[in-house]
Structure formats: C-alpha cells, structure tokens
Amino acid sequence: MLFNSIEFAIFLPIVFLLYWFVFQKNLKLQNFFLLVVSYVFYGWWDWRFLSLIAFSSFVDYFVGVGLKKQENSQKRKLLLIVSIVVNLGFLGFFKYYNFFVDNFVEAFTLFGKQLNITTLNIVLPVGISFYTFQTMSYSIDVYRKKLEPTTNIVAFLSFVTFFPQLVAGPIERATNLLPQFYKKRTFDYANAVNGMRQILWGLVKKIVIADNAAKVVADVFSNYENLNGSMLVIGAVFFAFQIYGDFSGYSDIAIGTSRLFGFSLMKNFAFPYFSRDIAEFWRRWHISLSTWFRDYLYIPLGGSKGGTMMKVRNTFAIFIVSGFWHGANWTFMIWGALNAIYFLPLLLAKKNRTNIDVVAKGKYLPSVKEFFQIALTFFLTIIAWVFFRAANISEALHYLQQMFSASLFSMPNYLPTKTILYILLFVLIEWLGRDREYALEYLNMPRFVRWGVYYLLIFAILWFGGEQQEFIYFQF
C-alpha cells in the first residue's frame, strides 16, 4: 500500500479512529490491533510474503527468549548465529541469488568454461532489507546484553511489522521502539497536529518534488547519448532531488503517521544537501542505516581506533557494504566506494567531525566559505548518484563522459522550468527550517496564515503533483 494512494487515504483514518476510540482502554488489544492492520498493510502488496516476515519475526523472538535463559557463551553465540543466518539467508536468497549466479557464471566464462546454472524468477519482497536489519539488531542487542529480551510476543511482532515504517524505514532499534509497545499511550492533540504537518510536508516532497523530477530523470538517463552535457547535469541534479524528496518524504510520512498513534521514531534525514563535507552528509543522510552500520559493523571491526590501514579497511568496508545493501548491482558498490574515497581524507586528517552544528546557525545566509563547501559536497554527491541511478557501470561512465564534454557549456536541450521552480522554492523552505526536525515543524504565524499555508500545500499536491511513482526505496 503506497502512502501516496487513495487506499492509504482511506486506510489511515479508519485505523486511527478504531485505535483511539475502540481499543484505547486495553493496551494488549491496541497492540494486537496494530499487528493486524500492519499485516493488512503489508499484505496489500502481496499476501504471500506475510509468511516470510512472520517466520523471520518468530525466529528472532525465540532467539531472544533462548538468550534470556542461556548463560553458556558458546550456546548464546550459536543462538545469535541462527538469527543472523536466517535473516541474511532470506535477504541473500531473495535479493542477491541471481546476482551471484550471474557473476559466478561470467567468471568461469572468462576462463573458457561454460556453466549451465540458470537464474530464478525471484520476486523481491518489499521492505525485506529494512525489517531483517531491524529484527537482527534486536538479537544482537540482546546477545550483547544491551537489551532485556521480551516475552510479550504481540508487542514484539508489532515492533517488527509496525506499518508506518515497515517497508522503507526508518530502521528502528528495539531499544527505542519496542519499549513504546509496553506503555499505555494517550492521545496528544499537539503531537497529532505535528504529525499531520510532517505527513503533509512528506507528501509535498514525494508528489511535488520527487514525482515531477522523476519524469525528467527517466527521460535524461534513457536518452543520455543524444543529449548535451548541460542537460545531463540537469538530469543528475534532478535525480539528487528525486531520491531525496522520495526517501526523506517517505520518512516524514512514516514519522508523522507514527505520531498520530503515540509513537516516536528516530529522525532519518537532517537536511543533508546543506552539508559542508561528506562526513557531515553521512551524518544527515539515511541516519538509521548509517548508524546501524556504524554500531554493528564499523565499531566491531575496530572503528577508527587502529592504524591507518585498519581505518582505510573499515571505511571501505562500511561504505561498500552499505552500497551492496541497496541492491545487487556493481553500480551500488561503486557508489559506496566513491563515498569511501570522499570520506577517507577527512577521517585520516581527523576532520570528519569538524562540521557538527547546523550550517550558518542563527543566520539567513551561509558565509562564502560555507557556500563553496556546500556546493563542493553537493557536486561530489551528484557524481556518486550517477552510479546509483545508472543501469550499469558502463552507462554511468558514458553518462559522466558525455556530461563533462564540451557540450557542458551549451544550452540544455530543454528546460523543465516548472520543476526547477518547484525545487528552488523547496530548497528555500528547507533552508529556512534547517535547524528543525523537519522544515515545517514550527509555523510561528497567526492561525489564519498557518492554515493558508496548509491549504496552499494541499493545492500544490493536487494541482502540481507529478505522475504517481512508487517509492524508490521499495526496491531495496
């Protein structure tokens, strides 16, 4: 079920009314209701994969129960291995089986050996990369004794399948989200209003920015060989805003929807395109995934405490694995490796935590230095996004070659003027709200002006929205 669909527009208010007016007095029933509607939400896409998410959830629940009872270190480690093998096994089969088969066959072909191994027609379950990481982190935290394992199976299953963030995050930690299923929740009007406002802004990002940019991006990337360099720049920049509007828009809708039900999810984006270096960008982009890899991969590998070679190894490991998490294509690994190359000089020079605070805090405009830092970081990010968007490495390299040809200085083949104006206005609003949780968090205006803004945004969604597109991160 898409957030930007008629079905969800009907589903959400029905669930909201039943949740608060029918099940409010009984926490267990309220949790069970959330579990049922979450399964309905996920099954709306393809009910056959409900068994997969249920099996994965039960495995991690019983691993947690086993870890609670078991003190023997070897047996505890075996239980953790079961959780990791099951979760990564499902993820590996559905997401990477054909990739590994194709590359295995191709490797033998280079040596003149033909292998008759066929790929499978595998349907990738929506959100599998998200919920497997969420359940796996629960098992790891219980194993590390950072979290008391739950014996409340309904609460645990609801934590895994909580519908606002089920299919595209944020990837919640059990330490944050699971305890919220234990506590009685009361309706908070101010929090609900804040949630509705965040949902509205998320829909603007998705429908007005991402969906309009998507059409131009598709046209440019499918026809890049016949377009000049300046047009390819527009295509690459538009993709940067497409993926940001699409993914951060989803996160805003997920977080805002959670507020309606009395839940608090972690922040997943913090205005990343205003970053002054790549390290800051990665502290602000897909925060739930970045911190997941930091805590469960980077730090266990030694982090940045070892020698130079260890720092280099760990940096490339976390970025390349992050790229591979996004999809079974070498382009994603190149994208990850490029970001590692960008990040490494900052780490080695110990400048990766130089820009911690909000850029130009308390000012309307950045300094000249900050402006050029933001521009350079955005430029480097765009180069990496070309690999992320391209169908293969060859296409990405040809795209960049054509983009930096002499035609870069010619007029674009055509100008998508309206979408450019939408993006410029969007950037302005984001800039003015860059010190908040999301751009429209606070509207310190008279009530009639505030409601005027709401109606204006709703009008923009209905009138200026692009053709409906599925969320990009559903494929991951």
User: Rounded to an integer, what distance in angstroms lies between the CA atom of residue 408 and that of residue 127?
Assistant: 39
Amino acid at 342: Y
Report whether pLDDT(115) > 80: no
Are 274 and 359 contacting, i.e. CB atoms less than 8 angstroms apart?
yes
> Chain centroid to CA 197: how far?
20
State pLDDT tens for residues 34-63: 999 999 999 988 888 899 999 999 999 999
Q: What value does the mean pLDDT of the chain take?
A: 92
Hey, what are 84's tokens?
């990791």
Mean pLDDT calculated for residue range 350-362: 92
User: Rounded to an integer, what distance in angstroms lies between the CA atom of residue 130 and that of residue 169?
Assistant: 6
Share of residues in the chain with pLDDT > 70 (%): 96
Q: What sign has the CA pseudo-torsion 420, 426, 432, 434?
A: negative
Out of 147-151, 312-316, 378-382, the most confident range is: 378-382
User: Rounded to an integer, what distance in angstroms lies between the CA atom of residue 36 and that of residue 41?
Assistant: 9
Residue 169: per-residue pLDDT:
82
State the Cα torsion 460-461-466-467 to the nearest 10°. -150
User: Rounded to an integer, what distance in angstroms lies between the CA atom of residue 84 and that of residue 90?
Assistant: 10
Instruction: Give the catalytic positions in this structure.
Output: 326
Residue 104: per-residue pLDDT:
64
Amino acid at 420: I
Residue 171: per-residue pLDDT:
95
State pLDDT tens for residues 139-180: 999 999 999 999 999 999 999 999 999 988 899 999 999 999
Mean pLDDT calculated for residue range 87-115: 77
User: Rounded to an integer, what distance in angstroms lies between the CA atom of residue 57 and that of residue 138?
Assistant: 10
Helices then strands, counting H and E runs in the chain, come out as 19, 0
* pTM for the model: 0.94
Task: List Cβ neighbours of 145 (8 Å cut-off, separation of 6 or more).
Answer: none
Amino acid at 288: S
Place of tokens 């976390």: 318
User: Rounded to an integer, what distance in angstroms lies between the CA atom of residue 12 and that of residue 202?
Assistant: 15
Q: What sign has the CA pseudo-torsion 422, 361, 282, 274?
A: positive
User: Rounded to an integer, what distance in angstroms lies between the CA atom of residue 345 and that of residue 351?
Assistant: 8
How does DSSP assign 261-313, residue by residue? TT--PPP----GGG-SSHHHHHHHSSHHHHHHHIIIIITTTTTTSS-HHHHHH
User: Rounded to an integer, what distance in angstroms lies between the CA atom of residue 228 and that of residue 122?
Assistant: 38
Mean pLDDT calculated for residue range 230-246: 97
Among 133, 138, 129, 125, which residue's Cα sits nearest to residue 62? 138
User: What is the Cβ-side half-sphere exposure of residue 268, based on CA atoms within 13 angstroms?
Assistant: 27
What number of residues does the chain have? 476
Report whether pLDDT(107) > 80: no
Phi then psi for residue 274, to 5 deg, are -100, 15
